[in-house]
Amino acid sequence: MQGPYAVSGYWNGDADEAALQLWVGALRSRLSAAKVSLGVVFLTPHLFDRAAPVLEILRVHGQIPLLVGCSTTSLIHGGEELEEARGLVLALLHLPRVKLQALHFRQSQVEEANGPAYWHMETGIGPDQTNGWLVFADPYHLDPESWLRGWNEAYAPLPTLGGLASGEHSQQRTQVYLQGDVFEEGAVALSVGGGVELAGVVSQGCSPIGETWTITRAQQNFIVEIGNRPAYQVLAETFNRLSPDEKRKAHGNLFVGLAVNEYLEDFHRGDFLIRNLLAADPHSGTLAVGAWPRTGQTMQFQRRDAEAASEDLAALLRRAHDQFASRAVYGACLCCCSGRGQRMFGRPHHDAALVQTHLGPLGLAGFFCNGEIGPVGERNFLHGFTASLGLFVEKIS
């Protein structure tokens, strides 16, 4: 086709119907003669009370057959992160040979789910009928951990990417959007099938330190022994072997990486699920972590700070660039933790600019989340301090 496969735009005005019609029409014209397959939209809270008519204007004048999205406190557009901005970001995507289907579901359905067949029936989609899911969820009225456990049973190893909406925290109010409907609870899930895959780049913001180890004794959320030695002793030795500069960076920034696939011969960046190191007790020798590690599981200590997070994202984007060098990457959705941005990196546009540097120019829209969803290995997890990038990629038959 002539022209881009995806375009994104930022609207910073109020719900002025005439002006918004002109704006979305102009955005639509940038796709040339290509048909819009999908619209992805993110709105800030000042538009909450006008969300429904705004969505309808976008659908009609953007000629959008399917529109999904959610609310956010900060927007991502192209290579820019518009932190604490007002308005909306809209991406229009032309996805050749794609098959799209979307639904809204509630916490009551999460509680009713009693196995994979439940979600296959509710969605009308089996694991052989989709290539992956893009999901936006309300964090206040949906239990994302419980939902993901059941969703993984139904669809893993297919990727699920997205994030938990942000909005009016004091009122515990967010919104998720499907077509012209506005929901203040539940989640919107988009199935991406046919000739398009949904590929994930999930940067958990950490760099590994020291070597990989085997957990030789674990109880609930405690690591008792590593390599048949007290876990605290291994942590202390790992820290003491760092250079003075590395020790300074790691102080107060240590995490635990837990391998999710024990069948790998070598472990690399992106093979570990990063979880908090909650406590380290020199007397008992145990480490408390924000997960339930398993005896026999491979682990590696990790450091998280701005430098480590930048290094991690850049490395994963380079890998994605090489992986998809011979395939079309049509567009992208970037879901970033609200703890990233200028708060973490001390400068604007860090994550979005890196995506464009390594994969661009790319039609990209995104938002700042209350939690990020993305795969590590063959399962999908809820993350924190993470950049979860969903890429709409040409499927090779």
Residue with tokens 């998280």: 304
The C-alpha atoms of residue 297 and residue 314 are separated, in whole angstroms, by 27
pLDDT of residue 2: 44
Going by C-alpha positions, the residue among 128, 102, 267 that lies closest to residue 189 is: 102
Three-state secondary structure of the chain: CCCCCEEEEEECCCCCHHHHHHHHHHHHHCCCCCCCCEEEEEECHHHHHHHHHHHHHHHHHCCCCCEEEEECCCEEECCEEECCCCCEEEEEECCCCEEEEEEEECHHHHHHCCCHHHHHHHHCCCHHHCCCEEEEECCCCCCHHHHHHHHHHHHCCCCEEEEECCCEHHHCECCEEECCEEECCCEEEEEEEECEEEEEEEECCEEECCCCEEEEEEECCEEEEECCEEHHHHHHHHHHCCCHHHHHHHCCCEEEEEECCCCCCCCCCCCEEEEEEEEECCCCCCEEECCCCCCCCEEEEEEECHHHHHHHHHHHHHHHHHHCCCCCEEEEEEEEECCCHHHHHCCCCHHHHHHHHHHCCCCEEEEEECCEEEEECCEEEEECCCEEEEEEEECCC
pLDDT of residue 190: 98
Q: Is the pLDDT of residue 344 over 70?
A: yes
Region 320-327: mean pLDDT is: 97
> Which amino acid is located at 306 in the chain?
A
The rounded percent of the chain whose pLDDT value lies above 90 is: 92
Q: Is the pLDDT of residue 7 over 50?
A: yes
Q: Is the pLDDT of residue 180 over 50?
A: yes
pLDDT band at residue 355 using 50, 70 and 90 as cut-offs: very high
Q: Is the pLDDT of residue 268 over 90?
A: no
The C-alpha atoms of residue 191 and residue 79 are separated, in whole angstroms, by 26
- Please tell me the least confidently modeled range out of 167-181, 204-218, 263-277, 282-296: 263-277
Q: Between vectors from CA 194 to CA 190 and to CA 197, what angle results, nearest 5°?
A: 65
pLDDT of residue 3: 59
Q: Is the pLDDT of residue 95 over 70?
A: yes
The C-alpha atoms of residue 324 and residue 203 are separated, in whole angstroms, by 17
Q: Is the pLDDT of residue 74 over 60?
A: yes
Encode pLDDT of 106-141 as tens digits: 999 999 999 999 999 999 999 999 999 999 999 999
- The reported pTM is 0.94
Q: Is 252 left (phi over 0), alpha (psi -120 to 50) or beta?
A: left
The rounded percent of the chain whose pLDDT value lies above 70 is: 99
pLDDT band at residue 278 using 50, 70 and 90 as cut-offs: very high
pLDDT of residue 14: 83
Encode pLDDT of 222-264 as tens digits: 999 999 999 999 999 999 999 999 999 998 899 999 999 887 8
Encode pLDDT of 151-178 as tens digits: 999 999 999 999 999 999 999 999 999 9
The C-alpha atoms of residue 384 and residue 134 are separated, in whole angstroms, by 18
Provide the pairing of β-strand 88-93 with 379-383. unpaired
Q: Is the pLDDT of residue 1 over 50?
A: no
**Mutual angle of helices 144-155 and 116-123, in 10-degree steps:** 90
For the chain, what is the mean pLDDT?
A: 95
pLDDT of residue 92: 98
pLDDT band at residue 15 using 50, 70 and 90 as cut-offs: confident
pLDDT of residue 269: 85
pLDDT of residue 20: 97
Encode pLDDT of 32-71 as tens digits: 878 999 999 999 999 999 999 999 999 999 999 999 999 9
pLDDT of residue 265: 78
